[in-house]
Amino acid sequence: MQRAGGARPRGCSSHAFAGRKRTVNVRQRAQSESLRRAQQYLKGHPSDAAELSEQTRRKLDVIADRLEAAIDVQATRVRQLRGEWKRRLHLERELLLGYVTPIAKFSRAKVAKHPEFAALTPSSRHLEGRKLVNFARSMMKVAKSNATMSSREWPAGLLDQATAAVDAIAESMDRHGNLRVQRAGATAGLASLIAAGRNVLLQLDAAVEAKFDRGGRFYQEWKIAIRVGEPAAKKKRVT
């Protein structure tokens, strides 16, 4: 029995990864950029920055640097999740088209003369993930339970290959689950760093308010640097 090709099976595409991923959200990105701008502005104006607490400025430096690393880690986890998700979709497609569907179709053609094939004929439509793994494993166990039937009707090693394909999906699901936990941890750590950074920024801003003239250049530019900007809405084209 040759491996089948064709369109993606229905069971493999009912949930798009795009609806599940969790990247750095717009607000978090804007807040992290505000912290980085504040850090760089103070470094670019050392004489004015010297009026502010050195200890607080150092805290800002540490948090800003750690924030960059945390964003990299979180983005890496998102990319890894996307890759593992697509890999799993590919494996499910291979299992359904290459083994489960051909075995079921072949069994339906033989069931009239060989009633024992009836156990291999249930529909596999709309199956994915753990349901597909459980379905396919039970199917292969039934097929292997009749060694004579299997060896007579199917190519040597087909059921072993199918079982390996099922195991590969299960392993991919486990990796995906672990990556989701790691991504959640990275996202939580990122939120914690941003909160700490905003607290430091509030302390520095309070000192700026107290020590600098509101009409002065440093005060005005500092306020621009620490502003948490929101992306401008896209303008509709007038036709």
* Model pLDDT, residue 9: 41
Query: How would residue 150 be classed by pLDDT, with cut points 50, 70 and 90?
Result: low
Q: What is the mean pLDDT of residues 109-114?
A: 72
Q: What is the mean pLDDT of residues 35-60?
A: 94
Q: What is the mean pLDDT of residues 149-170?
A: 82
* Model pLDDT, residue 176: 93
Q: What is the mean pLDDT of residues 188-214?
A: 94
Query: How would residue 16 be classed by pLDDT, with cut points 50, 70 and 90?
Result: very low
Position 233 pLDDT exceeds 60: no
* Model pLDDT, residue 232: 46
* Model pLDDT, residue 148: 58
pLDDT, averaged across the chain: 81
* Model pLDDT, residue 153: 66
* Model pLDDT, residue 103: 81
The b/e string for 89-119 (b: 16+ C-beta within 10 A; e otherwise) is bebbbbbbbbbbbbbbebbeebeeeeeebeb
Separation of alpha carbons 212 and 199, rounded Å: 20
Position 41 pLDDT exceeds 60: yes
Position 2 pLDDT exceeds 60: no
Position 193 pLDDT exceeds 50: yes
Chain centroid to Cα 2, Å, comes to 34
pLDDT in tens, 72-101: 888 899 999 999 999 999 999 999 888 888
Share of the chain above pLDDT 90, in %: 48
Question: What are the residues whose beta carbons fall under 8 Å from the beta carbon of 47, sequence distance 6 or more?
Answer: none
Chain centroid to Cα 57, Å, comes to 35
Separation of alpha carbons 169 and 236, rounded Å: 45
Domain chopping of the chain, boundaries: 23-226
